């Protein structure tokens, strides 16, 4: 004869105990692996607010690190580009002055060829991007900033052909580069004259305009051109060599300024690492669960759960004869 009613209440209570044991077993299993309490609210009680603020601070540090790393990446590319431009220019100014002073036609033609190559390479370098962002376009980061070098050379060639002397040519070039409606900003450079990014270098920066001014004149002073202004021991070519040297000096200053920014970013990242370590250690200390203690509790819970299953099985098979014993 099967007895059911007398054990119904006992079975219900036992099932509830088994469910609690299973829930606690699942929680303790995770805690034994992660080394952290699952229910931080219950564990920390009144300290939960402080712990959450610490966790938010760690998250904020991660976001700030991402932004600094992105800025650092842009600075790296800017530095590499400016270094490339400086390397392209090399000693062209000194070499052209030497060739003019010695009236060395062969040396002068070599400078012309190198200036042409440097101009092409510089235009290409200044159109570089970091991701989808043009780095030398000011705030017009989605716009390719510089047109083809040939178009620029054509503009300079036209001014040299119409100039009455070196002084007039210099005035035309100054207007071309430095007037908002001039040929440089209306036909060659499509970016903005300002940049909201402190690391940005625009196409109106003297480091850029003076370098390109000098390179263009040197590139057009060869024997294959028919520009009287640049013939012989030309004052315009000599002045352009000085302008190129000024541009190269300005490039050095711009690179130095970006180098300071790079050092500041590196220092900020180091500070964030220290701050994150301290905050993480504090949070872990507040939320840490002793894994050995959790493993010991886990063993006890497993033993209790096995005992509960055994008792449940016995109750389900309880007969009147067994009950009366």
| pLDDT higher than 60, residue 324 | no
| pLDDT higher than 70, residue 236 | yes
**Percent of the chain surpassing pLDDT 90:** 58
| pLDDT higher than 50, residue 2 | no
- CATH no. for 79-275: 1.20.1330
Predicted local confidence at residue 179, as pLDDT:
92
User: Which of 142, 158, 162 has its CA nearest to residue 150?
Assistant: 158
**CA gap 251, 87 in Å, rounded:** 11
Cβ-contact 248, 86 below 8 angstroms: yes
Parallel, antiparallel or unpaired: strands 133-134 and 129-130: antiparallel
pLDDT digit string, tens, across residues 19-75: 665 656 566 666 565 656 555 555 555 566 666 676 787 888 889 888 899 899 999
Q: How crowded is residue 317: how many other Cβ atoms within 10 Å of its Cβ?
A: 9
**CA gap 66, 296 in Å, rounded:** 41
pTM of the model: 0.72
Mean pLDDT (the chain, rounded): 84
How many Cα neighbours within 13 Å face the side chain of 197? Answer: 23
Cβ-contact 177, 213 below 8 angstroms: yes
pLDDT digit string, tens, across residues 136-181: 999 999 999 999 999 999 999 999 999 999 999 999 999 999 998 8
Bigger pLDDT: 230 vs 275? 230
**CA gap 164, 120 in Å, rounded:** 28
Tokens 């305009």 — which residue?
209
- Rounded to 5 degrees, φ, ψ at 127 are -95, 15
Cβ-contact 290, 36 below 8 angstroms: no
Q: How crowded is residue 224: how many other Cβ atoms within 10 Å of its Cβ?
A: 7
- The kind and range of the H/E element at 61 are helix 48-89
Based on its alpha-carbon atoms, the radius of gyration of the chain, rounded to whole angstroms, reads 38
Alpha carbon of residue 73 to chain centroid: 4
Predicted local confidence at residue 1, as pLDDT:
43
Average pLDDT over residues 265-278: 88
Bigger pLDDT: 324 vs 226? 226
Q: How far apart are the first and last CA of the chain?
A: 14
pLDDT confidence band for 302 (50 / 70 / 90)? low
Cβ-contact 156, 163 below 8 angstroms: no
Instruction: Please enumerate in sequence order all residues whose Cβ is within 8 A of that of 208, keeping only pairs 6 or more positions apart, or say none.
Output: 126, 136, 201, 202, 247
* Domain locations along the chain: 79-275
């Amino acid at each position: 004869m099967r007895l059911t009613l007398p054990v119904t209440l006992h079975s219900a209570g036992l099932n509830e105990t088994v469910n609690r044991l299973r829930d606690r077993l699942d929680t303790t299993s995770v805690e034994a692996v992660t080394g952290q309490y699952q229910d931080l609210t219950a564990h920390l009680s009144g300290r939960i607010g402080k712990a959450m603020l610490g966790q938010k601070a760690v998250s904020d540090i991660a976001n700030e690190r991402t932004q600094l790393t992105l800025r650092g990446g842009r600075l790296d590319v800017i530095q590499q580009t400016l270094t490339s431009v400086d390397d392209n220019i090399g000693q062209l100014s000194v070499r052209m002055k030497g060739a003019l002073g010695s009236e060395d036609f062969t040396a002068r033609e070599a400078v012309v060829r190198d200036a042409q190559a440097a101009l092409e390479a510089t235009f290409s370098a200044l159109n570089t991007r970091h991701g989808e962002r043009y780095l030398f376009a000011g705030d017009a980061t989605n716009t390719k900033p510089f047109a083809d070098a040939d178009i620029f050379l054509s503009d300079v060639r036209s001014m040299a052909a119409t100039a009455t002397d070196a002084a007039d040519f210099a005035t035309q070039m100054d207007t071309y580069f430095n007037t908002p409606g001039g040929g440089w900003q209306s036909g060659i450079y499509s970016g903005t004259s300002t940049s909201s990014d402190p690391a940005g270098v625009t196409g109106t920066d003297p480091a850029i305009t003076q370098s390109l001014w000098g390179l263009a004149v040197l590139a057009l002073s060869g024997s294959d051109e028919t520009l009287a202004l640049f013939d012989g021991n030309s004052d315009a070519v000599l002045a352009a060599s000085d302008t190129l040297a000024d541009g190269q000096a300005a490039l050095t200053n711009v690179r130095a300024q970006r180098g300071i920014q790079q050092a500041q970013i590196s220092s900020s990242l180091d500070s964030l690492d220290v701050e994150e370590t301290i905050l993480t250690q504090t949070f872990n200390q507040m939320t840490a669960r002793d894994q050995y203690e959790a493993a010991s509790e886990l063993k006890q819970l497993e033993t209790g759960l096995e005992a509960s299953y055994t008792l449940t099985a016995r109750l389900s098979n309880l007969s009147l004869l067994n009950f009366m014993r």
